[in-house]
Amino acid sequence: MDLKIDRRQVLRGMMAGSAVTVGLPILDCQLNANGDAFAATGARIPPRFGTWFWGLGLNEGEWQPKQTGTNYELSRQLVALKRHQKKMVLFSGGQVFLDGAANNTHFTGVQGLMTGKVTGSAEYFGSIDTLVADVVGNGTRFRSIDVSCDGDPKACWSARKDSGKQPAEVSPIALYTRIFGPEYQDPNAADFKPDPGVMVRRSALSAVSEERASLMGKLGAADKAKLDSYFTSLRALEQKLEIQLQKPEPLQACTKPSKPKEDEQLSTLATVAMERHDVFAGLIAHALACGQTRVFNLSITQGMSGLRKEGEPSSHHTYTHEEPIDSTAGYQIKCDWFSMLYMQGLANFVTILDSIQEGDRTMLDRMMMFAFTDHGAPRLHSLRNYPIMLFGSVDGRMKTGMHIASPGDAVTRVGLTVQQVMGVSVSAWGVGSNRVTNPYSEVFA
Amino acid sequence: MLKRVLVLAASVLPLMGSPASLSSATDPVPAVVAPSPLRISPAFYKQSIIDIFGPSIDVEGRFEPEEREEGLMAVGARKVSVTDAGLELYDDIARGIAAQVVDEKRRTALIPCKPQSATAADDACARTFVTQTGRLVFRRPLTEQEIATKVKLAGEAATTLKDFYAGLGAILGDMLIAPDFLFRHRAIEPDPAKPGEYRLDGYSKAAQLAAFLWNSAPDDMLLTAAATGELHTADGLRRQVDRMASSPALESGVRSFFADMLGFADFETLAKDPMFFPAYTIKAKGQTQEQTLRTIVDHLIIRQGDYRDLFTTPRTFLTRSLAALYNVPLVELADNGQPDRWIPFTYPEDDPRAGILSQASFVALHSPSGRSSPTLRGKALRENILCQRVPPPPGDVQFNIVQDTSNPLYKTARQRLTAHSTSPACAGCHKITDPIGLSLENFDSSGAWRINENGAEIDTNAELNGVKFNGAAGLAKVIRNDAALTGCVTRRVYAFGVGAQPPRNDEWKAIEKKFADSKYNFPGLMRQVALSSMFFALPSTQETAK
């Protein structure tokens, strides 16, 4: 790669300097020696990470493959993921240990799984995605994009170590406006002019953060801890404005999505939530491709899902408790309908990520998506045998295509593995019986 | 977060005005700590904006969700901070407000001066705006340094954008996301009357009174009382509390308290299936909350009624949409052109629907979207109205009895729950929620009246604390006479105002007695709490660390 060609010059030549949004062909000179860079500067884009949460697990006996390793057959409830099997790692058998703490169903399991710490309280700090975002998430407009598909802004499982759970965006059109609205700058636009309004806001914000010292000096430490978290958020907002004042790197896969249609009324129908899911998935994929964020968190619902099938008065959650096991099928048929719907949604999302070409790989190949749930066997609201999937190989850092069964192990082993693959410097993770030091090294490439 | 904060709280003395020696690590644990700052609620935010800038300003956007703690968002407010995404939401709302305040049609009324040129900086006018508006927004006067910084930034912004008002807008937007606005700080200072001890400073007292009684920022008179030291004297405090308690703004405080206590924030995510409940429209949903709040304001403030009678009063207010939901005849004599007009309505004496528990704001809010839930209603009644705790359900529970297909069909909720409750692991908790919830089964998930469920007649016989009763009317009478009812609301009122539970001391017992002696007069209770020495008391380290 001795020949230095500024991609901006190429683009200006192609577009005659006009700011036109197009899907761009990749040029050899834009790739590095491994063929895995796609910015004009030749810089390799940092890996990206997403979490995908669905409530109420999967039916016992209906999802866990009989075989382990690379040569396994997907069970019935996971069949929607068949086309992605080679790019997926499936974990089974992991559990969350309570160590005597009270079990707040639909919460405590996720608390252990996502933060490594079971407290018996509603405390929830330092979820895996934020630990990963600390490593890969800097330098983008949004530190993470968090959405929920059922209209509940509290359904998000992302929380920094010093603040509460992030509120989820519940409206696709609001998310579109937030990312691709007036403040969006097309990274492939030939021209760039900093917005004076943003410059003013950035300057004014710095005054708020400069008041930090005097404000802190007047307060006790209890207040300081709380305000520290506020000021961390303020810095994130400053960073967002700073990024808007810089010319973005061109990104080959970036195109601006079309504006979603107006939001549906609040509904508890699972099909409506999954339609919204697919819209969110498309917007998130575009946001990733356009460098607006490197981390996302999507929840279908809170763990205790109130979603229903059309014409049915009871919710998925109610059915997990009340629906009899069908004597012929051997499982709860109505619950199964929801699980299958969610897995189809998951497959749809992965398909979108795998359809975006970034150099010689797809976006999915360059990232990791972590799919998790609140319970093992939903009929029992169990904290054992969690179904968890990882998708993508993080630019070749992770081996995929296998089923790993480790009955009785702490489920936090998956979290530790995820962090290490994503570049978090950590050798042990979790508290009490959920503390682990042994990641699933078989997935390390 | 709470644990972290409390651990830290236990180890420090607030720095403001404290002798340096006390902050030494070798010193004993100090006797007082400053109360935690409270993140302002969406309702407080909106009311403050209305009171500062007038009702024509639209507060548009979504707020970071609140956290409920010990039964109230007002208590959860001491725990929560602001997340990344949350600050973005506040920023969007703030910029929207700022743009409206400085727009051409409002600036004459809302900006207290006119710049020499609308397209250039004007430090004098900016200073006037920052000084006057900042005092109301931050609930205290700004320091000279704060004013100077903001005036300078407003000037730079005006020069960059060639727009004086855009400069003011940028500064106002900043003030509305500043921690001084988003958190209600409670600063302390040495108490000259008690050497060696501390007290809340005047502005913190003013802000606490205004948040409690008005759900808003202090007005000019209250801030002046803070500045002059009036709030530190018994007579001065009483003058202000009496003024505030007799103000129409008390309605805002009462509404805010009950919206919090009754869990109305959950309406944000409440949806009903229109296939089953066509009368439960979006409009009706919004009106169900308003119906209850109007009933409360009418009964407690206008009629000065007994708090307990809120649960039995046949008087309420309806719109045509709500009348359709409840299927009651509403005769509109005054005006046929206003379908959403609120009309006073009194249920007949023998009607089983009476009191706020029979309203959709309770029976529909605590029901899943497709069917009713006696368990959820019973739990809400225990926790929200009686301050009793219902333990969470256990994990890894078998539901064999409910799920056994060889059993007869469970047509009604009572049959299903009776079957479920025979499981020993479940029976303990369901016994304390289900019987009272079953008495409300004549209300479907939307709050509409019904006699049958799935073709079977609904049995609403129930029992609470050994007292047997029938249906919603029976429940209303039993709840009205339950001693836990008034004790609960008394504690919740204090917690709403202070952000913490009341101490169990003689002064507290006296407040409870006065509440009873006044025939449970609610504004009187708020006044007593505001005037009590506990209202501004600093938590001891031990109490905070619990």
DSSP string computed for A260-327: PPPPPPP--BHHHHHHHHHHHHHHHHHHHHTTSBSEEEEESS-SS---B-TT-SSBHHHHHHHPPPPT
**Rounded (5°) CA angle B369-B373-B377:** 110
Q: Tell me the per-residue pLDDT of B25-46, one tens digit each, with 9 for 90 and over.
A: 333 344 456 788 899 999 999 9
Q: Tell me the per-residue pLDDT of B278-331, one tens digit each, with 9 for 90 and over.
A: 888 888 888 999 999 999 999 999 999 999 999 999 999 999 889 989 988 887
Give me the interface pTM, i.e. the ipTM.
0.86
Mean pLDDT of B172-191: 93
Contacts of B12 in chain A (CB under 8 A): 220-222
- Is there a contact between B8 and A199 if contact means CB atoms under 8 Å apart? no
For residue A251, the Cα-to-chain-centroid distance in whole angstroms is 21
Q: Tell me the per-residue pLDDT of B244-276, one tens digit each, with 9 for 90 and over.
A: 999 999 999 999 999 999 999 999 888 888 888
- Is there a contact between A160 and B371 if contact means CB atoms under 8 Å apart? no
Percentage of residues of chain A with pLDDT beyond 90: 71
Residue B294 near residue B317, CB atoms below 8 Å: yes
For residue A165, is pLDDT > 70?
yes
Residue B294 near residue B342, CB atoms below 8 Å: yes
Specify which of A7-11, A359-363, A402-406 reaches the highest per-range mean pLDDT.
Answer: A402-406
The model's confidence at residue B542, banded by pLDDT at 50, 70 and 90, is very low
A50 bridge partner residues: A296, A369
Q: Which has more confidence, A305 or B10?
A: A305
Cα A425 to Cα B182: distance, rounded to the nearest angstrom: 35
- Name which of A325-339, A415-429, B1-15, B521-535 the model is least confident about: B1-15
Contacts of A143 in chain B (CB under 8 A): 84
Structure-token match 């693959």, residue found: A421
Task: Please count the other Cβ atoms lying within 10 Å of the Cβ belonging to residue A3.
Answer: 6
Q: Tell me the per-residue pLDDT of A273-314, one tens digit each, with 9 for 90 and over.
A: 999 999 999 999 999 999 999 999 999 999 999 999 998 888
Mean pLDDT of B221-228: 97
- Nearest to residue B434, comparing CAs of B366, B526, B489, B335? B366
Q: Which of residues 18-57 of A touch B (CB under 8 A)?
A: none
Tally of CA atoms within 13 A in the half-sphere of B420 that contains its CB: 24
Q: What is the CA radius of gyration of chain A?
A: 22
Both tokens of A15, joined, read 């577009």
Q: Nearest by CB to A267, which of B145, B271, B392?
A: B271
Cα B264 to Cα B157: distance, rounded to the nearest angstrom: 41
For residue B431, is pLDDT > 60?
yes
Q: Mean pLDDT, chain A, as a whole number?
A: 87
For residue B13, is pLDDT > 60?
no
- Nearest to residue B532, comparing CAs of B499, B512, B502, B507? B507
- Is there a contact between A237 and B399 if contact means CB atoms under 8 Å apart? no
Determine whether B410 is exposed, middle or buried from the number of CB atoms within 10 Å of its CB (0-12, 13-18, 19+): middle
Q: Tell me the per-residue pLDDT of A86-96, one tens digit each, with 9 for 90 and over.
A: 999 999 999 99
Q: Nearest by CB to B399, which of A223, A308, A322?
A: A322
Mean pLDDT of A165-169: 94
Cα B345 to Cα B353: distance, rounded to the nearest angstrom: 12
For residue B501, is pLDDT > 70?
yes
Segments making up each domain of chain B, as ranges: 40-184, 277-394+409-480, 483-545
- Name which of A122-131, A256-265, B140-149, B255-264 the model is least confident about: A256-265
Contacts of A165 in chain B (CB under 8 A): 83
Contacts of B393 in chain A (CB under 8 A): 105, 381
Structure-token match 């252990």, residue found: A112
DSSP secondary structure letters along A329-347: TSS-HHHHHHHHHHHHHHH
The model's confidence at residue A226, banded by pLDDT at 50, 70 and 90, is confident
Cα B226 to Cα B222: distance, rounded to the nearest angstrom: 6
